Amino acid sequence: MSSLDRDIAGKALTLTLADQVGIVRQRLAAAGDRSALTIVKQGSMRVTLVALAAGGVLESHRADGPITVQLLEGSLEFEADGRVHSLKPGSLFALASLEPHRVTSAGGSVFLLTVAVEK
């Protein structure tokens, strides 16, 4: 997955999510299965827009810090903590650092992933 890193220069950064979603969708069309675009990278915080194609899977993995996932489009199933968490647009999911999780999207999805990398 390719990404574009944007450090916060100065005290603030403003982006239009709709524009960023358009970029990640274009990349998904070229990549086929998934695409990601890091839209903010500052200190321990990473904000990444992720698109999964229909039937997309992110196999079991762990994040180096706590995460939140905000589903913008489509649907996601998060397998974590011995459960399946079904997300719909507008849902916010939070997961503790280093917790194994697997992500699937039957119909495709776009979501905003925030990771607070622990050092």
Q: State pLDDT tens for residues 74-89.
A: 999 999 999 999 999 9
Domain 17-116: give its CATH superfamily: Jelly Rolls (2.60.120.10)
Domain ranges of the chain: 17-116
pLDDT at position 114 is: 97
- Sign, Cα dihedral of 87, 88, 94, 100: positive
Assign 2 a pLDDT band (cuts: 50, 70, 90): very low
Range ranked top by mean pLDDT from 11-20, 25-34, 56-65: 56-65
pLDDT tens figures, 8-28: 556 777 888 999 999 999 999
Report how far residue 117's alpha carbon sits from residue 37's, in angstroms, rounded to the nearest whole number: 17
Structure tokens at 52: 């999964």
Compute the distance between CA of residue 82 and CA of residue 99 in angstroms, rounded to an integer.
Answer: 11
Tokens 């904000």, residue?
A: 47
Q: Which residues contact 52 (CB under 8 A, 6 or more apart)?
A: 28, 33, 34, 58, 74, 76, 103, 105, 108, 109, 110
Please provide the size of the chain in residues: 119
